[in-house]
Structure 1
Amino acid sequence: MARFVSVEKLSKKERRKRALAARGTWGSINPVTRKPENPKAYRRSKMKRLKPDRECDL
């Protein structure tokens, strides 16, 4: 049976190895927080796409 050694007394490599083994994965979930766009906000990029470029000859 392996002897118990506190985490503080382990080497850095051993601590990292144990931490990686205990850590799980997110799988197919992306943990980035997302929120919907504000429908009342003015979007310049959308206006550029809708309006054709006009050249003024003055």
Structure 2
Amino acid sequence: YRKWKCRTILNMMRHCFKWKYEFLNVFDHNVVSVVHKSGGPASQLRVVAILVRRLKQQIHRPPNA
């Protein structure tokens, strides 16, 4: 259940932000890799928390392309 919930959150983020921030394509791929390697629900949720924090920072200032 927690794995499904985490995956749903990641999918929602991808749909919400992918069109707005191109860098998220690469970053999201890295997150998926980390999730697959770690495999544990706890570490997955930690990765999601890091992703949320990173996104909040990027929302307030545009990405440096």
**TM bucket by the smaller chain?**
under 0.3
Compare relative contact order (CA 8 Å, sep 6+) and give the higher one, 1 or 2.
2
Higher helix share: 2
The structure whose Rg is larger is 1
Normalized against structure 2, the TM-score is what?
Answer: 0.24
